[in-house]
């Protein structure tokens, strides 16, 4: 018999409660058509679970919002680089934004054809990484300094392979986000001031194997004020006009990524959000006849993932309450690194009784926490919790701190759940070391 859907949805079409939510019959949290309790029972915890439907819905929303202009979506690999996620994204025909040779290798592993839609960003590209990218035939290098331009020119000349380049400009625009993920101000290490950029374009135009092709800008991550994007693109559009007046064939504008998601409370209408974002980006580019490159990451996969974790112990210290769970900061670093908020919900929701409590991991650091003084439904030792919106900058920031293995990862497609990364064993961790 099909279960009735709980009235309060979490992250449709990905994560929803099913059932009546009573003490006798708790509502169960599902990923698409699969119960999360069942997935955890089969694969253990901590465990990342991703929704195929959510990722596809977000990709489709971008396609609809930008259909009026030639564009290429270049998924930002740093948001989540698990091969199963990259394969799903590649199957939609989109490209990739990479910031290292390792990320490029991952893209090539899932699709050699995707190289022609790869943009290579980042401030510290090495000669070996440039060589890999040149031999792979990527679409565009985003240059971040004069020294990098010279090294790319030397590498391309040695290989006798042409490199299409854009200069990443720093527009000195505030992204109004966490300072660690803001990249568009002059005090940040990223990009080149616009007046200096014009000199780099003149230098690049005189290199035999470099081809001036575009302008790049990226002002940060988790940006919810679309006005910041518009302000940055207005400055970039002025630069494009000036460069064309100087004889440069500017065909691409790489508008970067950075569109934020809601981590707290009900999710907004993503189609409405992406429409506002598209309006902010496209307005300044009107009349320029350009091919737009976009580098979304978080907005594609962020809400498509949860981290499942079991309650190991309940503990009280002089009235202060703690839930000690089996996930830790090595599995999900964002709360410790950024003070980031993630909603936490019981996978089986029956009781209406609540408490104020800290949710913490077992690592020997006071900074190993997921929530502090959080109002949560009362749960018991052994109960399963879901930490929401961890599809971006979750597993990809994992480590082996305290000699803990990285979590397993599962992707759900309808009624099917598939392991896309097995749980890391102690043997996996030690195999590169010598005693």
Tell the residue number behind the tokens 């979304």, with chain if given.
296
284: CB partners within 8 A, 6+ apart: 230, 233, 234, 236, 237
CB 382 within 8 A of CB 425: no
How would you classify the pairing of strands 305-317 and 369-377? unpaired
Alpha carbon of 5 to those of 19, 21, 169, 188, 237: distances in Å? Answer: 6, 10, 49, 47, 48
Catalytic residue among 1, 364, 415, 432: 364
Phi-psi region of 422 (alpha: psi -120 to 50; beta: other; left: phi over 0): beta
| Of residues 274, 303, 297, 302, the one with CA closest to residue 15 | 303
Is the bond preceding residue 320 a cis peptide, omega within 30 degrees? no
For 163-184, give the secondary structure using H, E and C. Answer: EEEEEEEECCCCCCCCHHHECC
CB 415 within 8 A of CB 369: no
H/E segment holding residue 248:
none
**Rounded (10°) angle between helices 127-136 and 146-159:** 50
Distance between CA 253 and CA 292 in Å, rounded?
A: 5
The pair phi, psi for residue 423, each rounded to 5°, is -65, 135
The pair phi, psi for residue 428, each rounded to 5°, is -60, -40
Q: 74 catalytic, yes or no?
A: no
Residue 309, helix vs strand vs coil: strand
The CA-based diameter of the chain, rounded to the nearest angstrom, is: 75
Half-sphere exposure of 9 (CA within 13 A, CB side): 11
CB 4 within 8 A of CB 18: yes
Q: Which residues are catalytic?
A: 364
């Amino acid at each position: 018999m099909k279960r009735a859907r709980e009235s309060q949805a979490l992250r449709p079409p990905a994560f929803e409660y099913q059932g009546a939510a009573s003490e006798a019959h708790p509502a169960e949290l599902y990923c698409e058509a699969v119960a999360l309790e069942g997935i955890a029972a089969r694969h253990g915890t901590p465990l990342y679970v991703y929704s195929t439907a959510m990722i596809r819905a977000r990709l489709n929303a971008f396609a609809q919002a930008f259909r009026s202009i030639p564009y290429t979506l270049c998924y930002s690999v740093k948001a989540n680089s698990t091969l199963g996620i990259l394969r799903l994204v590649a199957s939609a025909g989109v490209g990739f934004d990479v910031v290292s040779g390792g990320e490029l290798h991952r893209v090539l592993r899932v699709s050699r054809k995707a190289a022609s839609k790869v943009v290579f960003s980042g401030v510290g590209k090495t000669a070996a990484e440039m060589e890999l990218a040149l031999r792979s035939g990527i679409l565009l290098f985003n240059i971040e300094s004069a020294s990098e331009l010279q090294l790319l020119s030397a590498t391309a000349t040695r290989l006798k392979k042409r490199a299409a380049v854009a200069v990443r400009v720093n527009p000195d625009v505030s992204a109004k986000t966490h300072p660690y993920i803001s990249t568009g101000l002059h005090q940040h290490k990223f990009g080149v001031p616009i007046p200096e950029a014009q000199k780099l374009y003149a230098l690049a135009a005189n290199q035999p194997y470099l081809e001036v092709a575009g302008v790049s800008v990226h002002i940060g991550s988790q940006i919810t004020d679309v006005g910041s994007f518009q302000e940055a693109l207005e400055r970039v559009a002025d630069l494009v006009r000036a460069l064309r007046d100087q004889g440069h064939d500017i065909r691409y504008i790489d508008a970067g990524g950075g569109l934020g998601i809601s981590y707290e409370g009900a999710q907004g209408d993503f189609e409405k959000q992406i429409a506002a974002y598209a309006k902010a980006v496209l307005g300044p580019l009107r009349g320029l006849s350009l091919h737009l490159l976009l580098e979304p990451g978080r907005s594609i996969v962020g809400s498509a993932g949860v981290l499942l974790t079991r309650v190991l112990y309940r503990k009280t210290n002089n009235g202060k309450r703690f839930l000690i769970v089996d996930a830790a900061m090595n599995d999900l670093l964002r709360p410790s690194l950024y003070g980031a908020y993630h909603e936490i919900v019981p996978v089986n929701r029956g009781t209406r009784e609540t408490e104020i409590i800290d949710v913490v991991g077992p690592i020997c650091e006071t900074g190993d926490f997921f929530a502090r003084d959080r109002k949560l439904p009362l749960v018991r030792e052994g109960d399963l919790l879901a930490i929401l919106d961890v599809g971006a900058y979750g597993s990809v920031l994992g480590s082996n701190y305290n000699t803990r293995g990285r979590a397993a990862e599962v992707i759900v497609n309808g009624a099917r759940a598939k392991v896309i990364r097995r749980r890391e064993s102690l043997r996996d961790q030690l195999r590169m070391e010598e005693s």
